[in-house]
Structure 1
Amino acid sequence: MGLLRTTRPKQWVKNTLVIAAPAAAGRLFSGHALATLGLTFALFTACAAAVYLINDARDADADRAHPTKCRRPVAAGVLPVPVAYAAGGVLAVLGPALAAWLTPPLVAALLIAYLGMQLAYCVSLKHVLVVDLVVVTTGFLMRAVIGGVALGIPLSRWFLITTGFGALFMVAAKRYSEAVQLAGKAGATRALLTEYTTGYLRFVWQLAAGVAVLAYCLWALEGHRTPVPGLLPWRQLSMVAFILAILRYAVFADRGTAGEPEDVVLRDRALALIGLAWLAMYGLAVAHW
């Protein structure tokens, strides 16, 4: 049980980003696509779990000083450090190996790049100002890219910009929340937090939110150039739901309670309803209804 908890099952929801590019391209609903994306999701989850295991083994001492991370199995002594390292190593080898056998070569290359980048983050990059934000953001972006790569789908520049800055918005909001909640003892849990000011982190998440909204709106309005049949301009209408979702999430960021993005997304009923409305409009736009 401790081993499973260390792989962060609640955070596996982030790996559903692998369906983002195929969904945007209307290539989601076929047996081949679903099987390929299911496999890609499982392989990425294995690689992400490897990173979590190795990270928690390395950070056990620091996590014990954190008000919530101290309950993680490795920090709490439930899962021995050597076991966490061993399990992480096995998953780090198994994920790319299976990808090289079962998926296009570029999928395996992306998984190896993800592992290399995240392990470098665990060892040293998490202590480099701004670079830490970029690395975590890139991890989200790679999740979104790999689904398109697995199915050979060309990726739109607006898709990449919206996804990248949307991820930066959430990452910076998380760091801001940590800085607010751990004021006075941030250095004991994440040394780099003492280098950031809350004003700077607020600037980053506000800037990222603005760029994400602008890129999404440009993508949606681009549809006017190539009109498609449908009862309503769902592509353009989806801008409303997207902007509302950003504004709703920003409420928690502003309060300093966006420390765990998956908790915000899964627990806030209003945000969930906005998300469902956005999904419905986006789906209708892709289906040309």
Structure 2
Amino acid sequence: MGESLSRPPAPALTHPASTPGPGARAVGLLRTARPKQWLKNLLVLAAPGTAGTLTDPGVLGWTALTFVLFCFAASGTYLLNDARDVHHDRLHARKRNRPVASGVVPVPLAVGSGAALVAFALIAAIASGNPPLLGVLLGYLALTTAYTLWLKDITVVDIAAVAGCHVLRAVAGGVVIGVPITGWFIIVVSLAALLVVAGKREAELRSPGSAGARASLNGYSRSYLVQIRTMASAAVIVTYCLWALEGGAAHQPNGFHAASIIPFFVFVLRYHQLVDRGVGEEPEEIALRDRPLQLCLLALVGLIGFGIYA
């Protein structure tokens, strides 16, 4: 399987001066649910958006439901992941301040809350009567569970697993409304996800104490992760250019799709620049705070939208 999954003994935990009250625990649970990372679930818009179906109210309804269920499922897995990693997180310079690692949220409460969120997502998916949605959600939960328990400790496999979670989000948005998922779509999303996750691992490798807190990081070097970033970015740029010049999902070439290559290229360059500065450990923070990256994304979405809907 790779590296040992045995956990190092946890250092003594410094408890808060007083026992956290219900309010503090509620805030801690919300923080552990990582609402900022719900941004990743906007990937469910990609397939229906590029297929030109987002103007259909029914499609919007199913897409919104898929987004909400993936938010519940993802938050549940984050809670379970933090409960499982509590010993490792206490060794990390930054993660030791997380609510579960710091003792604000007890481990049993994190496990119970996480299981409840996952169960709600599954029950709602079953009640929706949409088998493809349930199937992709089950696949996502199976992959995240395997990641939490085993895959995160295996070098290279951990990157592929996290990237796979992004791909499943994007696939879910298409299958839930019956939009065919093309090879171009899968390749572009997969390569873009690989680029982001490699940058995240590189930033983690630079972070003080990370190598001791995550077993898989011991198998990486910064130069190796830079190579992954370089290969992924080159491949995704070429693939996106081919997709855009063919006219996207409709295969009808137009100037808007061709013009979208420019903000896409600049977006990738800007991401590389930020990772080289060591700020890629939390990709969602980059998306929320970096104005040049936001402008590139806005231009990209706008040009693709004009090419499809105008």
User: Which TM-score tier does this pair reach, normalised by the shorter chain?
Assistant: over 0.9
Give the equivalent residue in structure 2 for 1:21: 47
SS in 2 for 1:75: helix
**Contact between 2:205 and 2:211, CA under 8 Å: does it hold in 1?**
no
Q: CA RMSD in A?
A: 1.5
Give the equivalent residue in structure 1 for 2:141: 115
Give the equivalent residue in structure 2 for 1:252: 274
Matching of residue 209 in structure 1 with residue 195 in structure 2: no
Amino acid at match of 2:292: A
Give the equivalent residue in structure 2 for 1:283: 305
How far apart, in 1, do the equivalents of 2:206 and 2:99 lie? 25
Alignment coverage as a number of residue pairs: 283
- Tell me: CA distance 1:226–1:207, structure 2 relative to 1, closer, same or farther (3 Å): closer
Query: Which range moves more in the overlay, 239-248 or 187-196?
Result: 187-196
Report the CA distance between 1:176 and its aligned residue: 0.6
Report the CA distance between 1:88 and its aligned residue: 1.1
Give the equivalent residue in structure 2 for 1:129: 155
Give the equivalent residue in structure 2 for 1:168: 194
Give the equivalent residue in structure 1 for 2:283: 261
Report the CA distance between 1:60 and its aligned residue: 1.1
How far apart, in 2, do the equivalents of 1:22 and 1:226 lie? 15
How far apart, in 1, do the equivalents of 2:118 and 2:182 lie? 30
Which of 82, 85, 96 is the equivalent residue of 2:111?
85
Give the equivalent residue in structure 1 for 2:165: 139
Matching of residue 104 in structure 1 with residue 130 in structure 2: yes
Matching of residue 235 in structure 1 with residue 249 in structure 2: no
How far apart, in 1, do the equivalents of 2:247 and 2:30 lie? 44
SS in 2 for 1:154: coil
How far apart, in 1, do the equivalents of 2:226 and 2:129 lie? 40
Report the CA distance between 1:107 and its aligned residue: 1.0
Which of 198, 202, 206 is the equivalent residue of 2:222?
198
How far apart, in 2, do the equivalents of 1:235 and 1:103 lie? 36
**Contact between 1:128 and 1:192, CA under 8 Å: does it hold in 2?**
yes
Report the CA distance between 1:103 and its aligned residue: 4.4
Amino acid at match of 1:169: L
Which of 178, 186, 196 is the equivalent residue of 1:152?
178
Report the CA distance between 1:48 and its aligned residue: 0.6
- Tell me: CA distance 1:7–1:143, structure 2 relative to 1, closer, same or farther (3 Å): same
Amino acid at match of 1:251: Q
Report the CA distance between 1:62 and its aligned residue: 1.2
Relative to the length of structure 1, the TM-score reads 0.94
**Contact between 1:103 and 1:150, CA under 8 Å: does it hold in 2?**
no
How far apart, in 2, do the equivalents of 1:99 and 1:218 lie? 36
How far apart, in 2, do the equivalents of 1:106 and 1:197 lie? 39
How far apart, in 2, do the equivalents of 1:172 and 1:128 lie? 14
Matching of residue 76 in structure 1 with residue 105 in structure 2: no
How far apart, in 2, do the equivalents of 1:159 and 1:213 lie? 13
**Contact between 1:60 and 1:74, CA under 8 Å: does it hold in 2?**
yes
Matching of residue 12 in structure 1 with residue 38 in structure 2: yes
How far apart, in 2, do the equivalents of 1:109 and 1:147 lie? 12
**Contact between 1:97 and 1:108, CA under 8 Å: does it hold in 2?**
no
Amino acid at match of 2:235: V
**Contact between 2:174 and 2:180, CA under 8 Å: does it hold in 1?**
yes
Amino acid at match of 1:266: L
> Residue by residue, what CA displacement relative to the aligned partner does 1:63-98 show, whole Å, maximum 9, x if unpaired?
122222122110111111001101111122221221
**Contact between 2:154 and 2:215, CA under 8 Å: does it hold in 1?**
no
**Contact between 2:51 and 2:179, CA under 8 Å: does it hold in 1?**
yes
Report the CA distance between 1:255 and its aligned residue: 2.1
How far apart, in 2, do the equivalents of 1:27 and 1:171 lie? 29
Report the CA distance between 1:187 and its aligned residue: 3.0
Relative to the length of structure 2, the TM-score reads 0.88
Report the CA distance between 1:29 and its aligned residue: 1.7
Amino acid at match of 2:241: C
Give the equivalent residue in structure 1 for 2:10: none
**Contact between 1:249 and 1:271, CA under 8 Å: does it hold in 2?**
yes
Amino acid at match of 1:258: G
